[in-house]
Amino acid sequence: MVYQPAAGARDLLPLDVAKKRWIEDRLQQVFHRWGYHRIITSTLERMDTLMAGEAIQRQMVIQLQNTEDDELGLRPELTASIARTVVTRMAGVTYPQRLYYNANVFRRTWESKHNTQQEFYQAGVELLGTGGLLANAEILLLVADCLAALGLKGWHLILGEAGITRSLLSAFPANLQDKVRTAIAHLDRITIDTLPLSDELRERARIMLDLRGNSADVLQKVSTLSLDEKQQEAVNNLKSLVELLESEKIPLILDLSLIQTIDYYTGIVFEVVSDTESQAQVLGRGGRYDQLLGLYHPQGENIPGIGFVLNIEDLYQVLLSTQQLPQTTPASNWLVVPETPNADAAAFAYAQKLRDSTHLVRVEMDLGGRDKDAIRQYARDRSIAQIAWIKPDGSLTIESLR
């Protein structure tokens, strides 16, 4: 019998891990520079936690059953878990809270392909306890800094505003709003043309379909939709954000037809898209959610939040062509070899002395069973820089292989 990973799971070999860590380390450095602190939440969550706010479709969750008959699931994303943690474990903290994560998530897929991936790696941040222009700008500029740290070229930001889009939909009959929303999300003009709408509402829906492109053009189009005072304020706030981002040279497409499948977004929503390949690829997404934490709070207190997630696998695929990722696993710096059996203790002592140096040094011990020529060949095969031959009295001979 040949044992294989479970369907949808996979193993990462040392070189795969080195490439993954290269990406994660650079993202972590950016998060630290912006004052974010790492949070680790449970891989397992109660289903009612995951379902709160209709954030996740139940069929996406890989479910488990424990002995107490609680419904449990493997987390398909991190925002709900962090929201639950903050309101239940971090009462009394000073806001804003800047948190980041680097974790695996699990999503059930229903594609017909055999062994479709169900485990994914993500890195992202949550900025909690503050709203407004500066918080929104911080998150979007942080995204740009992350991509710069990875040396990623040829990307752009697609920016929408869930509050504005949802508000514009309120003009449609209640029984048709979901159909109009779905049609707009899928840029489906045929459905818009066939729904039982008045000429005025049909034209409104067509305009909403076209609220995408150059920011000045989009903002001008939305201003033709007879906005009320609250809607106009939201548009003005979006305009201020766009002006700030454009002053920072962020490549931007404004898209008020951008409607995320996750329902807890209340303000800006965005996607990070790579256009270096023939086909655009979404590398990450995020948005503002000012009512999600209130679902977990014992007193229902709302705490504003905004965040984003970057997909490590998608970043990996884009970066492969740049030759920036490690091409080999890191080589050891030293191979320490006891020349005789009674030199073992001295060899272990010298190896530890090397490992205790102020810099990270990779030190291997030769474990015996090979002659000197085989030891040298092993070191060359593994690109080990130096061999330390140790005698019983602790004296040594250093042989450089470069």
In order, the DSSP letters of 287-334 are EE-SSHHHHHSTT-----EEEEEEEHHHHHHHHHTTT-S-SSPPPPSE
Domain membership of residue 327 (yes or no) is no
Domain membership of residue 166 (yes or no) is yes
Q: What is the per-residue burial (b if ≥16 Cβ within 10 Å, else e) of 87-117?
A: beeeeeeeebbbbbbbbebbbbeeeeeeeee
Residue 379, pLDDT > 90, answer yes
Domain membership of residue 261 (yes or no) is yes
Least confident of 37-46, 158-167, 255-264, 312-321: 255-264
Last residue of a domain, one of 320, 353, 385: 320
Residue 278 exposed, middle or buried by CB count within 10 Å (0-12, 13-18, 19+): exposed
Domain membership of residue 101 (yes or no) is yes
Residues 267 and 362 in one domain: no
Residue 343, pLDDT > 90, answer yes
Residues 264 and 394 in one domain: no
Output the domain CATH number for residue 378.
Answer: 3.40.50.800
**Confidence band, pLDDT 50/70/90 cuts, at residue 103:** very high
Last residue of a domain, one of 272, 296, 320: 320
**Confidence band, pLDDT 50/70/90 cuts, at residue 41:** very high
Domain membership of residue 255 (yes or no) is yes
Output the domain CATH number for residue 196.
Answer: 3.30.930.10
Contact (Cβ atoms closer than 8 angstroms) between residue 140 and residue 307: no
**Confidence band, pLDDT 50/70/90 cuts, at residue 297:** confident
pLDDT number for residue 177: 87
Contact (Cβ atoms closer than 8 angstroms) between residue 130 and residue 98: no
Domain membership of residue 216 (yes or no) is yes
Domain interval for residue 292: 14-320
Token pair 């503002």 is at which residue? 288
Residues 278 and 386 in one domain: no
pLDDT > 90 fraction of the chain, expressed in percent and rounded: 60
Residues 396 and 264 in one domain: no
Contact (Cβ atoms closer than 8 angstroms) between residue 342 and residue 394: no
Average pLDDT, the chain: 90
**Confidence band, pLDDT 50/70/90 cuts, at residue 253:** very high
Domain membership of residue 50 (yes or no) is yes
Residues 160 and 257 in one domain: yes
Contacts 24+ apart (CB under 8 A), 368-371: 368/338, 368/341
pLDDT number for residue 140: 98
What mean pLDDT comes out for the span 273-282?
A: 79
CA 398/CA 388 separation, integer angstroms: 5
What mean pLDDT comes out for the span 294-304?
A: 88
Neighbouring-strand partners of residue 98 = 127
CA 31/CA 142 separation, integer angstroms: 8
Residues 274 and 252 in one domain: yes
Least confident of 93-102, 271-280, 384-393: 271-280
Q: Name the token pair of 308.
A: 């984003």
Residue 262, pLDDT > 60, answer no
Residue 127, pLDDT > 60, answer yes
CA 278/CA 269 separation, integer angstroms: 25
Last residue of a domain, one of 320, 342, 363: 320
Residues 136 and 231 in one domain: yes
**Confidence band, pLDDT 50/70/90 cuts, at residue 238:** very high
Residues 313 and 368 in one domain: no
Residue 251, pLDDT > 80, answer yes
Residues 211 and 349 in one domain: no
Residues 197 and 80 in one domain: yes
Residues 106 and 151 in one domain: yes
Residue 112, pLDDT > 60, answer no
Structural domain total, the chain: 2
Residues 296 and 360 in one domain: no
